[in-house]
Structure 1
Amino acid sequence: MLDLSNFDLSSIPVKDSMIDAEIVAHVQLQNPLEHALLVLTKTGYNAVPVLDLESKFCGIISKSNIVEEMFGIEQIEVSRLHEKKVEDVMESDVPTITEQDSLEKALHILINYSFVCVVDEEEKMQGIYTRREILKQIRNEFYRQQSK
């Protein structure tokens, strides 16, 4: 049986296993929704961070945000994707963490999100921390215990 009583998530900093911002797919505030949908489709992600021109984190855009915007009163209006910008439909009230925060704090956020953005004191995105990463940490602890 897995015993996590000695596995202290509050002592492990996020920066040890976050994904660096340089390799994270994202879109910018002023991008048209059609560009955001293309990025999401080509990467296979359901959501990506939204940044401004100075790499400041502004929110998250998801496929659902975009698809919902396409629905007109009587039909799907794909032309609206060219007219609307990412900033018009993105979620802006999204929690973030810092590199110094613990995995425990990330875990609480990852209950409702598939990833959380890691930002610095100026809100510039440093990377992301994903559910996958926290599950890998728990798996590694499990294997460590098994080898004892």
Structure 2
Amino acid sequence: MSIVRKYMMRTLNSVCEEDRIEDVIKAMYKVEMSVLPVVDSENRFMGTIYSKNILKNIIPEQYGILESHRLLYEVNQAAENLEEIKDRKVEEYMSTNTAAVRELDKMDNIADIMLDNKESYLYVVNDDNKLRGYISRADLLYYLLEVGEKQI
């Protein structure tokens, strides 16, 4: 039976609860990820910060249908709103109810967790709850491909 450690990615960027929103946005842009793990000073997993949590606070009609004549107004308004919150701390916008998995968890359980939580990434921690990496849906698919090949 395969474990998470075999398939997880060990390289990742994280942020701290005290980091500024502006720095988080820049980090997300740099690493091309819309979600980052939040850790404390000892690298213990605290939760996640999602770009959608920030967007919900700056775009008045985030998912509504915008009329073309209002689009420029909405973009300008969002930029102004972001200017107001960019110095706030991650802790104000982070999610703390994010599921993490352990390095030694069985891969068979990962699909259920990802689908139940509608997550593209699950963060991986050790027994001390210290962040070790992440596992993505692509990693899960690769695992399933290997399982299928062994059955042939």
TM-score range, shorter chain: 0.7 to 0.9
Per the alignment, residue 69 of structure 1 pairs with 57
Per the alignment, residue 117 of structure 1 pairs with 123
Quote the Cα distance in structure 2 between the aligned partners of 1:12 and 1:141: 9
| Alpha-carbon distance, 1:143 to partner | 4.5
- Runs of 5+ in structure 1 lacking a partner? 1-10
Corresponding residue pairs, total: 134
Per the alignment, residue 100 of structure 1 pairs with 104
Per the alignment, residue 134 of structure 1 pairs with 140
Quote the Cα distance in structure 1 between the aligned partners of 2:91 and 2:31: 20
Per the alignment, residue 53 of structure 1 pairs with 41
Aligned CA RMSD, in angstroms, stands at 2.0
1:12-51 equivalences in 2 (<5 Å): 12-20=2-10, 23-51=11-39
- Using structure 1 for the length normalisation, give the TM-score: 0.81
Contact 1:27–1:51 (CA under 8 A) maintained in structure 2:
yes
Partner of 1:78, secondary structure, is helix
Quote the Cα distance in structure 1 between the aligned partners of 2:141 and 2:84: 38
- Using structure 2 for the length normalisation, give the TM-score: 0.79
Contact 1:49–1:117 (CA under 8 A) maintained in structure 2:
yes
Tell me the amino acid that sits aligned with residue 97 of structure 1.
V
Identity of aligned residues (%): 23
Tell me the amino acid that sits aligned with residue 27 of structure 2.
V
Quote the Cα distance in structure 1 between the aligned partners of 2:36 and 2:54: 12
Greater share of helix residues, 1 or 2? 2
Partner of 1:83, secondary structure, is coil
| Alpha-carbon distance, 1:100 to partner | 1.3
Deviations 1:20-75 (A, max 9, x none): 1xx21221111111111111112211211111111010111111111122246x93
Contact 1:51–1:57 (CA under 8 A) maintained in structure 2:
yes
Contact 1:70–1:80 (CA under 8 A) maintained in structure 2:
no
